[in-house]
Amino acid sequence: MVVSEPMVAGMQKGSVVVDVTIDRGGCFESSRITSHERPTYIEMDVIHYCVPNIPSRVSRTASKALSNIMAPLLLEFAADGGVEASVKQNRLARSGVYMFNGNLTHPGLALESKLPYKDLDLLLATL
């Protein structure tokens, strides 16, 4: 965790934390997954917002932002010889892979969703 419980406890009463990494395990020790229906809870007098996939609330804006980010990446993937080649060569690209050839490759997501997981590096080694 990046932010410990004592750090959260030291915040002013009524402070708000938004854990944008909750779908990857979270960055606040006091975080727990919430939902759009019940997005917040109060712990140590601090309001916590820990909804996974926050962009789903603003889908049109998120889609435009994602397009602006993805277009250059897709061009880079093409220059590298395709997505598979880029994932093999580029550790940063590899860190963003959740599924590969039909296999869930993100351990945190697998644990949270109780689905089987396969290590991406092992899958890439078999190619």
Q: What amino acid is encoded at 4 in this protein?
A: S
Domain limits for position 114: 74-125
Could you tell me if residue 58 is inside a domain?
A: no
Name the strands in the sheet holding 46-49, side by side, starting at the edge strand that comes first in the sequence.
16-18, 46-49, 40-43
With 80 as the cut, is the pLDDT of residue 42 above it? Answer: yes
Could you tell me if residue 97 is inside a domain?
A: yes
Q: Which of 44, 51, 56 is nearest to 12 (CA)?
A: 44
pLDDT single digits (tens) 28-37: 999 999 998 9
Same-domain status, 81 and 120 = yes
108 pLDDT tier (thresholds 50, 70, 90): confident
With 80 as the cut, is the pLDDT of residue 74 above it? Answer: yes
1 pLDDT tier (thresholds 50, 70, 90): low
Could you tell me if residue 65 is inside a domain?
A: no
Q: Rounded to 10 degrees, what is the CA torsion of 103, 107, 109, 113?
A: 80
Same-domain status, 86 and 43 = no
Residue 99 confidence (pLDDT) = 94
Could you tell me if residue 69 is inside a domain?
A: no
Q: Mean pLDDT, to the nearest integer, of 57-73? A: 90
Which element (helix H / strand E) includes 112? helix 107-113
Q: Which of 97, 101, 123 is nearest to 109 (CA)?
A: 97
Could you tell me if residue 35 is inside a domain?
A: yes
Domains of the chain: total: 2
